[in-house]
A and B are shown apart, each in its own frame.
Chain A
């Protein structure tokens, strides 16, 4: 069973606040991902990383940023939260082998009021 942890599970915050969503994995996976999902919609890739000091933006335009200073840690930061950021944020990781699945954390449900 994959060990990937996201905190907080739920967050309600006011507009304009800076927030960081935490994601850590204990499997030594090189590749990590952040997805955003709204109810009834597909998961949209917002950021990914292939290793330490490597980060890329995904297909979904996002006002968030990420960092990858350590293999196990891939936090996502919103500098100024807005109601449009209300969503579920899912972190995932996978090892370097070609055909390996994504392993997901339980997500952070963010509500911006």
Chain B
């Protein structure tokens, strides 16, 4: 059964507005969460991460929020730019070394 879920396969946002990508997980033993961006024919590129002891981490235009009680993770991109158009994967790590990925959300930023 899938432990990390991204229920929105796609999202379209106007340039300059906020993009919010969501991720839900089921395993309370996950202790580290990450977001990756992927362009076609390339490997995923690391964007931002958050430890389970925090609820927010910010890096430039990217902010990740973690709600442990709801087992929910979100990525905010402000302001969105056309170059942000890509597939975004959330990932979670079990204590140790195994990472689990969602199915991805395809973000399109409309100029």
Contacts and interface: CB of A to CB of B under 8 A. Distances in A.
A6 B36 CA distance: 19
Interface in A30-72: 31, 33, 35, 40-43, 45, 48, 50, 58-59
Contacts of A9: 41
Interface residues of A, number: 26
B101 A42 contact: yes
Nearest to B97: A31
Contacts of A43: 44, 89, 91, 101
B106 to A, nearest CB: 9
Interface string A92-111: 10000011011111110100
Interface of A: 6, 9, 31, 33, 35, 40-43, 45, 48, 50, 58-59, 90, 92, 98-99, 101-107, 109
10 contacts: A6-B43, A42-B4, A43-B89, A59-B98, A99-B51, A101-B34, A104-B36, A104-B43, A104-B44, A107-B43
The 9 closest A-B pairs by CB, nearest first: A104-B43, A43-B101, A101-B46, A42-B101, A106-B43, A42-B103, A104-B44, A107-B43, A105-B43
Given A48-B98, A106-B41, 5 more contacts: A40-B103, A45-B98, A50-B97, A92-B43, A104-B36
